[in-house]
Amino acid sequence: MTFPWLTTLIAVPALGAVLTALVPSGRSRLAKQVAIAFSVLTLGLAIAVIAQFDIGGDRYQLTEQNEWIEALGIYWALGVDGIGVALVALTAVATPIVALAMWPEAEESKRDPKAYFALLLAAEALTLTAFVAKDLLLFYIVFEAMLIPLYFMIGMYGGAQRRYAALKFLLYNLFGGLVMLAAVIGVYVESADAGTASFLLADLMALDIPVETQRWLFLGFMLAFAIKAPLWPFHTWLPDAAAEATPSNAAFLSGVADKVGTFGMIALAVPLFPEAAEEFAPFIVALAVISIVYGALLAIGQTDMKRLIGYTSISHFGFIVLGIFALTDRGVTGSTFYMINHGLSTIALFVIVGFMISRRQSRLIADYGGIQKPAPKLAGVFLFAGLSGLALPPLATFLSEFLVIAGTFEQYRAPAVIATVGIVLAALYILWLYQRTMTGPVGAENAETRDLGLRETVIVAPLLALILALGVFPRTVVDVIDEGVGPSLAEVDVQAPPPLVTVTDQAAEGDDQ
- The answer to whether residue 510 forms part of the interface with other proteins (CB under 8 A) is yes
Cα distance between residue 477 and residue 479, in whole Å? 5
Residue 133's DSSP bridge partners are 78
Report in angstroms how near the CB of residue 253 gets to other proteins at its nearest: 18
- The answer to whether residue 333 forms part of the interface with other proteins (CB under 8 A) is yes
Report in angstroms how near the CB of residue 441 gets to other proteins at its nearest: 6
Q: Which of residues 337-356 bind other proteins (CB under 8 A)?
A: 337
Report in angstroms how near the CB of residue 103 gets to other proteins at its nearest: 25
Task: Give the residue, chosen from 26, 57, 282, 394, that forms a contact with other proteins under the rule CB under 8 A.
Answer: 394
- The answer to whether residue 478 forms part of the interface with other proteins (CB under 8 A) is yes
- The answer to whether residue 407 forms part of the interface with other proteins (CB under 8 A) is yes
- The answer to whether residue 502 forms part of the interface with other proteins (CB under 8 A) is yes
Report in angstroms how near the CB of residue 445 gets to other proteins at its nearest: 16
Are the C-beta atoms of 318 and 400 separated by less than 8 Å? no
- The answer to whether residue 330 forms part of the interface with other proteins (CB under 8 A) is yes
Q: Is the sign of the CA dihedral 401, 404, 408, 409 positive or negative?
A: positive
- The answer to whether residue 444 forms part of the interface with other proteins (CB under 8 A) is no
Question: CB neighbours of 504 closer than 8 A, spacing ≥ 6?
Answer: 510
- The answer to whether residue 420 forms part of the interface with other proteins (CB under 8 A) is yes
Cα distance between residue 386 and residue 389, in whole Å? 5
Task: Give the residue, chosen from 245, 398, 464, 467, that forms a contact with other proteins under the rule CB under 8 A.
Answer: 398
> Considering beta carbons, is residue 268 or 423 the nearer one to other proteins?
423
Task: Give the residue, chosen from 409, 452, 456, 466, that forms a contact with other proteins under the rule CB under 8 A.
Answer: 409
Are the C-beta atoms of 381 and 352 separated by less than 8 Å? yes
Q: How many residues bind other proteins (CB under 8 A)?
A: 78
- The answer to whether residue 504 forms part of the interface with other proteins (CB under 8 A) is yes
Site stretch for other proteins (CB under 8 A), options 53-61, 67-75, 126-134, 415-423: 415-423
Give the other-Cβ count within 10 Å of 208's Cβ. 7
Site stretch for other proteins (CB under 8 A), options 37-45, 49-57, 347-355, 476-484: 476-484
Half-sphere exposure of 154 (CA within 13 A, CB side): 29
Residue 478 one-letter amino acid: V
Cα distance between residue 386 and residue 383, in whole Å? 5
Q: Which of 284, 289, 287 is nearest to 325 (CA)?
A: 284
- The answer to whether residue 405 forms part of the interface with other proteins (CB under 8 A) is yes
Give the other-Cβ count within 10 Å of 126's Cβ. 25
Task: Give the residue, chosen from 399, 452, 464, 480, that forms a contact with other proteins under the rule CB under 8 A.
Answer: 399
DSSP-based three-state secondary structure for 76 = strand
Report in angstroms how near the CB of residue 15 gets to other proteins at its nearest: 38
DSSP-based three-state secondary structure for 273 = coil
- The answer to whether residue 511 forms part of the interface with other proteins (CB under 8 A) is yes
- The answer to whether residue 313 forms part of the interface with other proteins (CB under 8 A) is no
Are the C-beta atoms of 433 and 359 separated by less than 8 Å? no
Separation of first and last alpha carbons in the chain: 56
Q: Which of 363, 356, 365 is nearest to 451 (CA)?
A: 356
Cα distance between residue 203 and residue 136, in whole Å? 10
- The answer to whether residue 441 forms part of the interface with other proteins (CB under 8 A) is yes
Task: Give the residue, chosen from 66, 192, 473, 490, that forms a contact with other proteins under the rule CB under 8 A.
Answer: 473
Site stretch for other proteins (CB under 8 A), options 28-36, 179-187, 219-227, 492-500: 492-500
Q: Which of residues 158-197 bind other proteins (CB under 8 A)?
A: 171-172
- The answer to whether residue 363 forms part of the interface with other proteins (CB under 8 A) is no
Q: Give the per-residue SS3 of 365-420.
A: HHHCCCCCCCCHHHHHHHHHHHHHHCCCCCCHHHHHHHHHHHHHHHHCHHHHHHHH
Site stretch for other proteins (CB under 8 A), options 3-11, 52-60, 141-149, 392-400: 392-400
Torsion angle in degrees (nearest 10) through CA of 254, 478, 124, 389: -20
- The answer to whether residue 490 forms part of the interface with other proteins (CB under 8 A) is no
- The answer to whether residue 402 forms part of the interface with other proteins (CB under 8 A) is yes
Site stretch for other proteins (CB under 8 A), options 16-24, 111-119, 153-161, 474-482: 474-482
Q: Which of residues 60-79 bind other proteins (CB under 8 A)?
A: none
- The answer to whether residue 56 forms part of the interface with other proteins (CB under 8 A) is no
Q: Which of residues 235-254 bind other proteins (CB under 8 A)?
A: 235-236
Preceding amide of 394 cis, omega within 30: yes
Report in angstroms how near the CB of residue 431 gets to other proteins at its nearest: 4
Report in angstroms how near the CB of residue 56 gets to other proteins at its nearest: 13
Q: Which of residues 103-142 bind other proteins (CB under 8 A)?
A: none
DSSP-based three-state secondary structure for 492 = coil
Kindly list the distances between the CA atom of residue 509 and the CA atoms of 7, 465, 501, in Å, as whole numbers in the listed order: 54, 46, 14
CA angle 296, 318, 91 (to 5 degrees): 110
Q: Which of residues 281-310 bind other proteins (CB under 8 A)?
A: 294, 297-298, 300-302
Question: CB neighbours of 418 closer than 8 A, spacing ≥ 6?
Answer: 289, 292, 293
Task: Give the residue, chosen from 50, 432, 469, 487, that forms a contact with other proteins under the rule CB under 8 A.
Answer: 432
- The answer to whether residue 431 forms part of the interface with other proteins (CB under 8 A) is yes
Report in angstroms how near the CB of residue 187 gets to other proteins at its nearest: 28
Are the C-beta atoms of 159 and 244 separated by less than 8 Å? yes
